[in-house]
């Protein structure tokens, strides 16, 4: 049989050994220091009295991953690692008179055991050979991290893209949790995928350290009535290669343990790293901070509750409720059921399930995913085997780390939901665009410009086709009226201010319409983009109105215009000819005949206004089209200016929001 030796001590370079009076048939391998965990073992050999020292394996987790020793870990026990059998025989035959082995290290010779409580067995060194034939103590570091599955990688990539797109729009505090999830997922991916880190957490007196020792098979974590008993996280590794994970948890080498010589008797637990945490309700702040820190880094959690404080509000409100989304990697263990009479344990367990349901944590029953809830007694061992079996199944599946990362992504997505999910269908509708351009057109006076252009065209037609006597009369009226010949004063300053206010109102209205229903950060980004774009917009619209509002150059004329002018000139000539004819008859130059010259004059007098009226009627259509064209050009120019300075920036912000909304959908969608 394999002899088991329990060793305990501190890294101080000294050991207390058994004296010569202990006899030649046995040797005590227990090292004790004041305040160290109480654990003893015995090493019983054959009649030769061999000890387990030379064949023992040092704690692999007390040195950095990679197989090299550390000054902090202490020097390894010296012995004959390559010829263990021969050395054991020589020691058996070479005992001195004091009962000490020949060749045993003297006290103070610089030899140190690895710190902590380690259960070792005396075996042949060939049994400790690694996969490549080397001793485990000389195991070389091999990168053992692996990529996540494709669905989880897709969610991480989407979350990374989401954070990148949102950095300029959201506050750093809002993205801090998502950034932490990305960092921790990347850090966990680089470490061992063959190991599963499980933390045991609980309140003061719940018995988590007792459960820790029960799972280890040896008393590793200190238990007792003094509170708090556990002051720092203690790790228990069933196999090598977990040093990187323990470094990530900031567990010092002196607090790293190995159960029963590596746990070779628990094949299902190979790859398990168990961490005993301080009390989450400890009166010492540093203990609670350590619990909060480690719980963010482990792959799974075992919550140990007792019949007295299983409904503690501090546990449910601070931990179980916020971690409700991590149900698949959560164990809730009702400990100390040996204190409950009859079916009281079942009643407490049912009430515990009810509380978990109120916390929003799904309970895995009937094959459904969720938290594992069971009752046990770490003191008597009842139910510990079932928990050990469940842990073994979790470790062998090797999916706890990925489940933890996926649950962290879910939690981050839930926190970010108010910042990405809109109430309705946000966007810039065609109606909002048209209303914005109409408001800008009103601000620049496009309608008034069109009407003015139409009047100018008609006045031009009237001047060209009207009777000269009527034009002369109109000129006389303008001259006769006081100030009629002076240039008209410019528009008062209030009109310009009113136009500016109309532009600002149009910008506010379209920004409100575009941001309606958006989450607050993106709605604010849309409004800011609109305000930034509106800077200088009133001035540019004024320039457009000045440039397009009063067209320069000669007004266009229809094809019939020359004929109308010619007819009007003929009518004027008829009037002049008739008048001269009549005057000639009066002075006796021409033969008398009143009727012909009168008829000629009447023809010119009546024909001139008729031609003018006909030209005015014919000019209405072209004048209206000319005014509409002038109004359209100014509207289009104002709309183009508003689109470039306001609508396009708003559309860019909405497009960015749609992109991040798609990325958020990819993050929150769990395949």
User: In this structure, what CATH number is given to the domain that contains residue 320?
Assistant: 3.40.50.300
Give the position of tokens 């009727």. Answer: 595
Cα 644 from chain centroid (whole Å): 32
Whether 311 and 242 map to the same domain: the answer is yes
Whether 221 and 359 map to the same domain: the answer is yes
For the chain, percent of residues with pLDDT exceeding 90:
34
- Res 608: pLDDT: 78
Q: Is the pLDDT of residue 87 over 70?
A: no
Within a domain: residue 240? yes
The sign of the torsion formed by the CA atoms of 638, 640, 642, 644 equals: negative
Do 318 and 288 contact (CB within 8 A), yes or no? no
Whether 264 and 375 map to the same domain: the answer is yes
Phi, psi (degrees; rounded to nearest 5) at 665:
-60, -40
pTM, two decimal places? 0.64
Cα 599 from chain centroid (whole Å): 96
Within a domain: residue 99? no
Q: How confident is the model at residue 49 (pLDDT cuts 50, 70, 90)?
A: very low
d(CA 459, CA 328): 86
Sheet holding 234-237, edge to edge: 256-257, 234-237, 272-276, 196-202, 300-305, 330-334, 372-375
What's the number of domains the chain is made of?
3
- Residue-number span of the structural domain to which 404 is assigned: 143-193+398-419
Integer angstrom CA distances of residue 610 from 171, 511, 617: 77, 56, 11
3-state secondary structure of 232: coil
- Res 29: pLDDT: 35
Whether 158 and 231 map to the same domain: the answer is no
Q: Is the pLDDT of residue 483 over 50?
A: yes
Integer angstrom CA distances of residue 147 from 23, 143, 193, 562, 663: 57, 12, 9, 87, 21
d(CA 92, CA 25): 10
- Res 38: pLDDT: 34
d(CA 245, CA 243): 5
The sign of the torsion formed by the CA atoms of 472, 477, 482, 487 equals: negative
Within a domain: residue 512? yes
Give the range among 90-99, 239-248, 465-474 with minimum mean pLDDT. 90-99
What are the residue ranges of helices labelled H in 167-270? 172-189, 208-216, 243-248, 260-263
Angle between helices 446-465 and 537-549 (to 10 degrees): 10
- Res 613: pLDDT: 82
Q: Which of these, 462, 465, 669, 659, lies nearest to 562 by C-alpha position?
A: 465
Mean pLDDT of the chain: 74
Within a domain: residue 18? no
Whether 162 and 232 map to the same domain: the answer is no
Within a domain: residue 136? no
Question: What digits encode the pLDDT tens for the residues 61-79?
Answer: 333 333 333 333 433 333 3
Whether 238 and 180 map to the same domain: the answer is no
Q: Is the pLDDT of residue 366 over 80?
A: no
Whether 248 and 336 map to the same domain: the answer is yes
- The two structure tokens encoding residue 124: 């042949």
Whether 204 and 279 map to the same domain: the answer is yes
**Angle at CA of residue 372, ends 366 and 373, nearest 5°:** 100
For the chain, percent of residues with pLDDT exceeding 70:
70
Within a domain: residue 19? no
Whether 307 and 340 map to the same domain: the answer is yes
Question: What digits encode the pLDDT tens for the residues 170-225?
Answer: 888 889 999 999 999 999 999 989 999 999 999 988 998 899 988 888 777 666 44
Within a domain: residue 358? yes
Question: What digits encode the pLDDT tens for the residues 262-273?
Answer: 444 578 889 999
Side-chain half-sphere exposure of 510, counting CA atoms within 13 A: 33
């Amino acid at each position: 049989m394999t002899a088991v030796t329990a060793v305990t001590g501190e890294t101080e370079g000294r050991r207390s050994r058994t004296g010569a009076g202990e006899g030649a048939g046995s040797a005590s391998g227990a090292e004790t220091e004041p305040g160290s965990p109480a654990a003893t073992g015995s090493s019983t050999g054959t009649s030769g009295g061999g000890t387990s020292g030379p064949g023992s394996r040092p704690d692999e987790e007390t040195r950095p991953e990679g197989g090299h020793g550390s000054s902090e870990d202490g020097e390894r026990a010296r012995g004959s690692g390559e010829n263990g059998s021969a050395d054991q025989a020589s020691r058996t035959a070479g005992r001195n008179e004091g009962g000490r082995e020949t060749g045993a290290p003297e006290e103070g010779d610089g030899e140190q055991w690895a710190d902590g409580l380690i259960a070792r067995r005396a075996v042949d060194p060939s049994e400790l050979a690694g996969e490549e034939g080397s001793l485990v103590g000389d195991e070389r570091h091999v990168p053992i991290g692996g990529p996540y599955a494709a669905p989880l990688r897709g969610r991480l990539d989407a979350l990374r893209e989401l954070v990148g797109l949102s950095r300029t729009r959201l506050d750093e505090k809002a993205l801090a949790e998502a950034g932490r999830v990305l960092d921790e997922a990347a850090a966990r991916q680089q470490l061992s995928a063959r190991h599963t880190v499980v933390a045991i957490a609980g309140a003061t007196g719940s018995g988590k350290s007792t459960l820790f020792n029960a799972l280890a098979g040896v008393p590793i974590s200190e238990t007792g009535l003094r509170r708090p008993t556990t002051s720092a996280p203690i790790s228990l590794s069933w196999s090598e290669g977990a040093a990187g994970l323990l470094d990530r948890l900031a567990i010092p080498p002196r607090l790293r343990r190995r159960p029963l010589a590596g746990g070779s008797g628990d094949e299902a637990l190979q790859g398990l790293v168990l961490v005993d945490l301080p009390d989450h309700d400890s009166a010492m702040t540093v203990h609670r901070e350590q619990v909060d820190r480690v719980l963010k880094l482990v792959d799974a959690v075992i919550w140990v509750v007792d019949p007295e404080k299983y409904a503690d509000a501090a546990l449910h409100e601070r931990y179980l409720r916020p971690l409700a989304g991590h149900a698949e990697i959560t164990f809730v263990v009702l400990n100390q059921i040996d204190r409950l009479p009859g079916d009281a344990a079942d009643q407490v367990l049912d009430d515990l399930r009810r509380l978990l349901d109120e916390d929003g944590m799904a309970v895995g029953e009937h094959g459904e995913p969720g938290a594992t809830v069971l009752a046990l007694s770490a003191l008597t061992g009842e139910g510990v085997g079932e928990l050990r079996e469940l842990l073994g199944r979790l470790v062998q599946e090797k999916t706890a780390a990925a489940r933890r990362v996926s649950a962290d992504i879910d939690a981050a997505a839930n926190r970010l939901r108010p910042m990405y999910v809109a109430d309705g269908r946000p966007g810039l509708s065609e109606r909002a665009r048209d209303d914005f351009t109409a408001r800008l057109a009103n601000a620049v006076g496009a309608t008034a410009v069109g009407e003015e252009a139409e009047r100018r065209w008609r006045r031009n037609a009237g001047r060209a086709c009207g009777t000269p006597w009527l034009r002369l009369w109109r000129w006389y009226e303008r001259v006769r009226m006081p100030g009629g010949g002076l240039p008209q004063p410019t528009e008062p300053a209030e009109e310009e201010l009113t136009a500016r206010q109309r532009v600002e109102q149009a910008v506010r209205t379209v920004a409100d319409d575009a941001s309606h229903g958006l989450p607050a950060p993106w709605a604010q980004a849309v409004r800011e983009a609109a305000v930034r774009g509106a800077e200088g917009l009133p001035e540019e619209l004024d320039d457009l109105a000045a440039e397009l509002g009063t067209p320069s150059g000669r007004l266009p004329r229809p094809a019939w215009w020359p004929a109308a002018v010619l007819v009007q000139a003929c009518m004027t000539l008829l009037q002049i000819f008739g008048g001269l004819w009549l005057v000639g008859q009066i002075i006796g130059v021409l033969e008398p005949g009143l009727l012909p010259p009168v008829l000629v004059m009447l023809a010119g007098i009546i024909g001139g206004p008729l031609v003018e009226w006909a030209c005015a009627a014919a000019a209405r259509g072209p004048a209206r089209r000319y005014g509409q064209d002038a109004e359209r050009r100014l509207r289009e120019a104002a709309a183009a200016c508003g689109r470039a300075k306001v609508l396009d920036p708003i559309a860019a912000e909405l497009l960015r929001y749609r992109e991040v909304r798609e990325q958020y959908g990819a993050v929150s969608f769990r395949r």
